[in-house]
Chains A and B, each alone.
Chain A
Amino acid sequence: MRHLGVLARIQLSDEEVQSLTGQLDAIVDNIAKVSEVATPEVVATSHPIPLENVFRPDVVQQQLTREQVLQNAPDQADGRFRVTAILGEEQ
């Protein structure tokens, strides 16, 4: 569960870890249920309405201004987004 929290980048509290651990069973039950019919010969459907080759011409269209890009930035400097150090001191 802790590992899932790391993968999902969510700092889980002990209580959250506990209650979520129990709820993983729900997923396991769903898997068991689905496995009853998801046999090898059944093909998977990834898109409900099958389409293919949906492309866009290579033509520049209006993009965001820098003001728009940064308009919701929690922190910024020099026209860029500012984030806390990526590595910790020991790294």
Chain B
Amino acid sequence: MTDLTRLTAADLAAKLASSEVSSVEATQAHLDRIAAVDGDVHAFLHVSDHALEVAADIDRRRAAGEQLHELAGVPLAVKDVLVTTDMPSTSGSKILEGYMSPYDATVVARSRAAGLVPLGKTNMDEFAMGSSTEFSAYGPTRNPWDLDRIPGGSGGGSAAAVAAFEAPLALGSDTGGSIRQPAHVTGTVGVKPTYGGVSRYGAIALASSLDQVGPVTRTVLDAGLLHDVIGGHDANDSTSLSDAWPSFAAAAREGATGEVLKGLKVGVIRELDDRGFQKGVSDSFRVSLAAMEAQGAEIVEISAPHFEYGVAAYYLILPAEASSNLAKFDSVRFGLRVTPQGTPTVENVMATTRDAGFGPEVKRRIILGTYALSAGYYDAYYGSAQKVRTLIQQDFDAAFAQVDVIATPSAPTTAFRLGEKLDDPLQMYLNDVTTIPANLAGVPGISVPSGLAEEDGLPVGIQFLAPAREDARLYRVGAALEALLLDQWGGPLLDKAPSLTNGASL
């Protein structure tokens, strides 16, 4: 029998639908894989102790002839930023250790309703602040391609789980690249939808005006299938769009035929050209562009003069919003409480708890954000950063008047070594230079594997950006390139990743 963990979600779903495979079998296979490799990878913070029951229920319903969703019975990993009623939700922080939410995040509720089987909660940088998952309070996740390297962040756990075949699908959240950059360094697919395309209700907020939940998968089609489940209007999120969205899975299937590449105008950003990108990253990017060009796409140089202000604006807006969003962790209603010696006041208890419960990166950003909002500076700091958003949106508008999609390398370098940039937060922040503009402008982005960097053999991703609400375009283009490259490679990129088990359970 084939290894069920190596199947794409779409293929597994087909086998489930035809009852060739049961959800219990599929779920058990993934739980076994987790047991075999997660000691090394550490993608999961919590593994569900009732996933098999959920799977058995799906099997029962299928046997009873119930009409089930296309993905029913397929296992799903859930980033710990999303609250769940049946598993703890910590957002990677000690301050929420053991926290049990009385309600499910909308995306989780929709996944359950579709019959997806939550396997567990995945590791992340504490409160999604980071690009390496090294800032998780529960220890880092390791990159399945090289266990000494970072899996990206903040959603390193979801990306690593998918890359290590511990789950076919995962949910992530992307505030400045936390879905796309981990996809880039793990050879997986990640989508940040249009802001408002997927509900934020139940996603523990980092920066409310930037956060967006999206799919983390191994193929573009799988991402589309999951996006179809979680997307759409939610009355519990005021910023949720009420648009009638097309099927993203259908867009991916259509894109895989390659037709979309004929005459497609792909913009490359002139100003990104001279940045310090790793050679293997730039090379891989150019190979992908050439492949698309060969199929009839037209590469057009565009200008985005304000993108270079994006990182600065982002690091004013994010800490400001985060400092306010994270004020609720105060030891009163939930979470950690640390009571200092003597006869403390509630103010002392709050301050001591927050000092003990937050990690250094979280404290750093809260303090910076508090400063950026403090008396008299709002206009100069936060307000000015919001103006940069306008300028970046104008850059996008001008660009999309000329091209259908914009392409960039998903991140400047391949996976760096654990610990390498820990002492240099600013260097770490620069990782997000390619991903941040999409969050600031609210436009959708996808990262698709483009190959391996020659110098280190590590995965590289290519990012496509589309106008707001044109997520379907990303699935078409992403699936088209994916099909082309798969042909060139003769199989999925992840086939080249180490097995991790020394052959033990395979």
A contact residues vs B (CB 8 Å cutoff)? 1, 4-13, 16, 20, 23-24, 26-27, 29-31, 33-39, 42-49, 51, 54, 56, 64, 68-69, 71-75, 81, 83-89
| B380 and A31 contacting across the interface, CB-CB below 8 Å | yes
**Residue in A4, A37, A68, A84 whose CB lies within 8 Å of B374:** A4
CB within 8 Å: A-B pair count: 184
Closest CB of chain B to A44's CB: distance in Å?
A: 4
B101: shortest Cβ distance to chain A, in Å? 8
Query: Is B277 part of the contact surface with A, judged by Cβ < 8 Å?
Result: no
Cross-interface CB contact of B333 among A51, A56, A73, cutoff 8 Å: A73
What CA separation (Å) do A11 and B347 show in the bound complex?
10
18 contacts between A and B (CB under 8 A): A8-B366, A9-B347, A12-B355, A12-B367, A16-B360, A20-B363, A27-B368, A30-B313, A30-B385, A31-B384, A34-B316, A45-B390, A46-B386, A73-B334, A75-B337, A85-B343, A86-B347, A89-B343
Interface of A is mostly: loop
Complex Cα distance A19/B290, Å? 47
With contacts A11-B355, A38-B385, A84-B344 taken as known, whether A49 is within 8 angstroms of B195 at the C-beta atoms is yes
Cβ–Cβ contact B331 & A71, under 8 A:
no
Q: Which residues of A contact B351 (CB under 8 A)?
A: 5-6, 9-11
Chain A residue nearest to B85 (CB atoms) is A68
Within 8 A of A (CB), among B337-351: 337, 339-340, 343-351
Taken together as a complex, chains A and B put the C-alpha atoms of A45 and B254 apart, in Å, by: 35
The one of A4, A23, A37 in contact with B306, judged by C-beta atoms closer than 8 angstroms, is: A37
Given A12-B355, A44-B389, A48-B195, are A31 and B367 also a contact pair (CB < 8 Å)? no
Are B337 and A74 in contact, CB atoms less than 8 angstroms apart? yes
A24 to B372, CA, bound (A): 9
Q: Is the CB of B363 within 8 A of A38?
A: no
Q: In the complex, what residues of B have CB within 8 A of residue A27's CB?
A: 315-316, 319, 368, 371-372, 381
C-alpha gap A47/B350 in the complex (Å): 31
Are B364 and A20 in contact, CB atoms less than 8 angstroms apart?
yes
Bound Cα distance A2, B188 (Å): 44
